[in-house]
Amino acid sequence: MVNTQPHLVRRELDAVYEVGKTLATSLDVHKTFREALNYLTHAFDWRRAFVVIADGESQLSGLCAIGLTQAEQQRLHFESGEGIVGRVFSSGMPATVPDVRAEPLFLNRTGGADQSPGIPVAMLATPIRADHRTLGVLVIDCLNPEERRVFAEDLRLLRMVATLMGQSLLLHRSVTAAHETLQDESRRMHKALGGQRAKLEQVVGVSKPMLKVFDQIHQVAPSRTTVLLRGESGTGKEVMARAIHSLSPRAKEPFVGVNCAALTESLLESELFGHEKGAFTGAQGQRKGRFEMAHGGTLFLDEIGDISAAFQAKLLRVLQERSFERVGGGAAVKVDVRLILATNRNLERMVQAGEFRADLYYRINVVSIQLPPLRERREDIPAMAQHFLDRFNRENGKTTRFSPEAMRVLASCYWPGNVRELENCVERTATMAGDNIITDLAFPCRENRCLTQVLHHIEREDAVRPSRLAEIPITEVPTAPPPRLPTIGDGESADAGFGETPEEGAAGALLPVSVGAAAGGRVDDKPDGERERLIWAMERCGWVQAKAARLLKITPRQMGYALQKHGIEVRKF
């Protein structure tokens, strides 16, 4: 008979509301189920409660429990059809046992019948169902003195709670499955990208600019499109050209490189196109040119911006016709060659000045990849320096290594010569090192003997203390990593010591006294004059106005006003 007492019905509704609210707080079913059981056991005077869920087709294992010890929870394992819990799971029907001691199917796996001697213990179990299948079983037990308690209301409440739990379990599994699918797809994509990038064995780079270059290389490599590599001298254009070739379908065919700036026009023509016997003095036999040698593969033309106007016309015809004639010959030679070209010149400006043919520019500038200078990817310097040092050690049978201070010096240099200069510096320093550890004092720049400083007129502080040094991880050798170095102007206000407006600040006094300390350098090396301090800050920051403004604790706009006021021309590197 259904209980119609208003206060009992209200208590059940309150319980269903509280359980539903608890289950909706999180997708962690272990946490929410346990909180729901904890509320129900206190509200309805139940002694113990637990939930078991299906683990496979016929195995049931405990998910959460209230009133059970850790050891008892570990014994919550049932087979489908085993005991009362297994029967409820396999049949999908609830069960009520007024006294578990009198029930032969009761397994007493958790010792519930032994905890209250002389007092009957009742057990209620209901299946947790969702999506037309049984997902688990909800079980409670309580004392039943003299077997007078009627469990119809308890069982009805359990069935409602089990329905809510079933929906929560179904949602949890759906979200978990979707998450695992996304994780698998993410791992697959990372593995695929990682596998592609691993093919660039000769390239070292983890910075964002280099990762962008790697992505462009992987996109362009499978095609036969002409590629123009641009960047300063020493940025690794030939290395990137070889990487494109190794990732292309022509990887097994020849890769032939020519430095166009190293040869005169006549020698370059013979070198690229070959010559016939007797074509000129000393031509004792027929010779194949680099175009023929690269047939089926890749031809790399470095310093393409340095070729003469006459040879530009000859090269344009070859690119258009895909054929050429050897020097001193008349027969056309057809070739299948992929071209990769490189230059450190501003071709657009050369075209405007009439120094480079516009039609040749459009022919070679199909896919352009800009290689960043080393100073714009300082994150790569430690790994590259270690790569060059490892190669030096292999070739010379040594075990030289960098100290953290030495690595900081390398990571903070301006490197006008880029990767080529870094490689030479590492080899020179490793060769002249007195022991197996290269310290910061081993570098010529620490004693004002750096030829780069003389060549490019770079101040010593600019070579050893740029503002991005703190962002570069330096690995301790062999102990733990060194503490983080302060960044220039870190934690300082950009407007300290100036007027309320940019105009007032620019017209007023510049450079607070604490600039040298904020920069991490010496205070006594700060010039006294306003113009001298502006130049001092710009040189220290590589003539980057924003960095110099932070060093002087002013805004970039104020910096611009001050430079304009004193007529200081900003250098371009």
- Long-range CB pairs of 157-160, under 8 A, 24+ apart, other chains included: 157/12, 157/15, 157/16, 157/40, 157/44, 158/94, 158/124, 158/126, 159/94, 159/126, 160/12, 160/16
Rounded distance, CA 22 to CA 16, Å?
10
Which position has the token pair 């007032």?
504
Rounded distance, CA 539 to CA 548, Å?
8
Q: Can you give the pLDDT at residue 279? A: 64
Concatenating the DSSP letter of every residue in 525-551 gives TS-SSHHHHHHHHHHHTTT-HHHHHHH
> Which part of the chain has CATH 1.10.8.60?
376-471
Work out the angle between the directed axes of helices 208-220 and 237-247 (0-180°, nearest 10). Answer: 40
Report CA torsion sign: 327, 331, 332, 337.
negative
Rounded distance, CA 332 to CA 335, Å?
10
For residue 107 the two structure tokens come to 């397994």
> Which part of the chain has CATH 3.30.450.40?
6-175
Q: Can you give the pLDDT at residue 358? A: 92
At residue 185, what is the residue type? E
CATH of 209-372, one of 3.30.70.1280, 3.90.25.10, 3.40.50.1000, 3.40.50.300: 3.40.50.300
User: Which neighbouring-strand residues pair with 61?
Assistant: 53, 77
Q: Can you give the pLDDT at residue 481? A: 42
Q: Can you give the pLDDT at residue 94? A: 92
Return per-residue pLDDT of the chain as tens, 573 residues.
444 566 667 888 888 899 999 988 888 888 999 999 999 988 888 889 999 999 877 789 999 999 888 888 888 989 988 999 999 999 999 999 888 888 888 888 888 777 777 788 888 999 999 988 899 999 998 887 766 667 788 888 999 999 999 999 988 888 888 888 877 776 676 655 554 444 465 678 888 888 899 989 999 999 989 999 999 988 989 999 999 999 999 999 999 999 988 888 878 888 888 877 766 666 667 778 888 888 899 999 999 999 888 888 888 888 888 888 877 777 788 888 999 999 999 999 999 999 999 999 999 999 999 999 998 888 899 989 999 999 999 999 989 999 988 888 888 888 888 898 899 999 999 998 878 889 888 888 777 677 666 565 544 344 444 434 444 555 544 433 433 433 333 333 333 333 333 333 333 334 433 333 333 333 446 676 788 888 888 888 878 888 888 888 788 777 887 888 888 887 765
* Distances 69 to 49, 64, 116, 237, 558 between C-alpha atoms, Å: 12, 11, 16, 68, 70
Q: How many CB atoms lie within 10 A of CB 354?
A: 9
Task: State whether CATH 1.10.8.60 applies to domain 376-471.
Answer: yes
Rounded distance, CA 13 to CA 41, Å?
16
Output the pTM of the full model.
0.49
Instruction: Bin 464: left if φ > 0, else alpha if -120 < ψ < 50, else beta.
Output: alpha
Prior bond of 502 cis (ω within 30°): no
User: Which neighbouring-strand residues pair with 323?
Assistant: 334
Could you tell me which residues come within 8 angstroms of residue 465 by beta carbon, excluding any fewer than 6 positions away?
412, 488, 519, 520, 521, 540
User: Which neighbouring-strand residues pair with 141?
Assistant: 48, 123
Are the C-beta atoms of 101 and 113 separated by less than 8 Å? yes
CATH assignment, 6-175? 3.30.450.40
Nearest-CA neighbor of 155 among 3, 17, 35? 3
> Which part of the chain has CATH 3.40.50.300?
209-372
Q: Can you give the pLDDT at residue 523? A: 40
Rounded distance, CA 300 to CA 258, Å?
6
Rounded distance, CA 463 to CA 390, Å?
24
Strands 121-130 and 95-97: antiparallel
